[in-house]
A and B are shown apart, each in its own frame.
Chain A
Amino acid sequence: MTRADEHPPAGADDPAPGAPRTVMSGADVARALRRIAHEVVEHNKGADDLVLLGVPTRGVELARRLAALLLDMEGATVPVGELDITMFRDDLRSQPTRAPMPTRIPSEGVDDRVVVLVDDVLYSGRTIRAALDALADLGRPRAVRLAVLVDRGHRELPIRADHVGKNLPTSHTERVMVRLDGVDEVTEDSVSIALGETRAGRPSTPGGPR
């Protein structure tokens, strides 16, 4: 708790500690995704050779939405896939066993393509480290970029995102919860922060509430 006191999150005067505080509404999420889509095509100088790979579960939904936006903006059909990282995690021994999720690579493959990894929250960077390892077993992309909806800081590895929906300074004692229509049982997307570590001393708990 000391850390939280040293770095009080914005809104620490929230009258109900522990109650989730919404930091992105559905409209915010939509705007952020639209900007990321623009950035991706701008950076890539078009939508050619792009492949979007979502990290299950919410990264997949975000990747699908980015593909829909790219179709809308550029008229380009960008292949979307799913990249499960369960078997590549470095914390398997310290976690209860998790069932792996599907990995689906578009038929175009990833060789010589520009792969954009898509995830909801960037935290320790360990998920992305695992994703890079998983990707290396599937082929050799020309370049790999990273797009995330939320960057909450606290990196433990030299990894950064190329496209960020929102930078969200947080403390280890907080959880960032992304709720997406189509994945979670909600009708409106949201990103919220709540107090409460998911796991003592283990800030990185990808897949669970973050």
Chain B
Amino acid sequence: MRHLLSSADLSRDDVRMLLATAAEMHEVQRRDVKKLPTLRGRTVINLFFEDSTRTRSSFEIAGKWMSADTINITGKGSSASKGESLRDTVRTIDAMAVDCLVMRHGASGAAHQVAQWVDASVVNAGDGTHEHPTQALLDAYTVEQRIGDLAGRRVAIVGDLTHSRVFRSNAITLRTLGADVTCVAPPTLMPSGIRPWAQADGLHLTDDLDAVLASGPDVVMMLRVQRERMSGGFFPTPREYTVGFGLTRDRLRALTDANPEAVICHPGPMNRGLEISADAADAARSLVLDQVSAGVAVRMAVLYHLLAGEEVAA
């Protein structure tokens, strides 16, 4: 592996290896001494053109715990705000002989493009509405820690599918792992080109959340309503969205009745009261904080597999 740009780049074996490595890294987190010497002398740049708390900090911690030097550059404080092009910015950073660029950008495909321009390994930490592969890995990791192997398990992904890179990466990784994936969204938030993909990859599409919950899925993955990417018109009012697609207290009960073992995920940040109720977010079956805790371990695994091995593939 040289870059991690898309969840589709990962075979089942790749995902299994990353998750197994993450499990060992998770164990390291419970120790008094969390530092591993593995990436000593390597430099990891976090280049974030969009806001982030958990992704950026977890990549930074992951790099630091493996003794890499990690540096954060945000769009706002960089020369990009003086009008420098993305190409010039990343080539400038690459000229400093860094080993890895962890990149988040508002434009879909930005990480793919940057990977063509630089010698460093590129990790896509979210590109527009396209993909966020490490989020999908950590979601799979978190769920498997709680309920075991995802193969054959039923997962519902609910909400703003159109604007969600988390959805796209998760759907791919979940299918790679053999899970049964149902995508739930209001028709206005169902991505326009999803049908051919859904047919090819075996995704189920529906706009009836209550029917899906009544069928007792093993995992319900709620997505954030991305108001910053919406120019209006996707749903009449937030209240109406909640009525149709929010995981309300009543729906939480319906889910629990249908499958007492069901778990709930949310990639964060949560809009409490909009797509997820406080009852659901804080329930024992909610994995929201486990997801954050797994984030560091999964990103350690990704950095390890990208950076530790020999530079020229054997």
Interface set of A (CB-CB < 8 Å, partner B): 84, 87-88, 92-103, 133, 137-138
Contact = CB atoms under 8 A, between A and B. Distances in A.
A36 to B, nearest CB: 28
Contact of B24 (A88, A95, A100, A138): A100
Interface in B30-62: 31, 33, 35-38
Nearest to B35: A137
A88 B27 contact: no
Given A102-B24, A138-B31, A97 B37 contact: no
Interface string B175-199: 0000000000000000000000000
A99 B21 contact: yes
B305 interface: yes
Given A88-B36, A138-B33, A100 B21 contact: yes
Given A102-B24, A103-B24, A93 B33 contact: no
B308 A99 contact: no
A102 B27 contact: yes
A88 B35 CA distance: 10
SS of A interface (majority):
loop
A99 B314 contact: no
B36 A94 contact: no
Per CB-CB distance, the 8 closest pairs between chain A and chain B, nearest first, are A97-B309, A137-B33, A87-B38, A100-B24, A87-B36, A92-B308, A96-B314, A99-B17
B20 interface: yes
B311 interface: yes
Contacts of B66: 87
A95 B20 contact: no
A94 B313 CA distance: 10
B304 interface: yes
B228 interface: no
Given A103-B27, A137-B31, A88 B37 contact: yes
A94 B21 CA distance: 19
Interface size class of B (residues with CB under 8 A): 20 to 34
B308 A93 contact: yes
B308 A88 contact: no
A137 B36 CA distance: 8
A172 to B, nearest CB: 21
B310 interface: yes
Interface string B10-34: 0000000100110011011001010
A93 B311 contact: yes
A101 B33 CA distance: 18
Contacts of B1: 97
Given A96-B309, A99-B21, A87 B304 contact: yes
Contact of B38 (A92, A96, A138): A92
Contacts of A87: 36-38, 66, 304
Given A87-B38, A97-B305, 12 more contacts: A84-B24, A87-B36, A87-B37, A87-B66, A88-B37, A88-B38, A92-B308, A93-B309, A93-B310, A95-B310, A100-B21, A137-B36
Given A84-B24, A87-B304, A103-B24, A95 B309 contact: yes
Nearest to B313: A96
5 contacts: A99-B17, A99-B20, A99-B21, A103-B24, A138-B31
A137 B310 CA distance: 25
Contacts of A95: 309-310
A92 B40 CA distance: 11
A149 B310 CA distance: 30
A101 B21 CA distance: 8
Given A93-B310, A138-B31, A101 B37 contact: no
Nearest to A92: B308
Interface string B237-265: 00000000000000000000000000000
B43 to A, nearest CB: 14
Nearest to B22: A100
A22 to B, nearest CB: 30
Contacts of B308: 92-93, 97
A104 to B, nearest CB: 8
* Residue from B24, B25, B313, B314 whose CB has the most chain A CB atoms within 10 Å: B24
Given A87-B36, A92-B309, A97 B24 contact: no
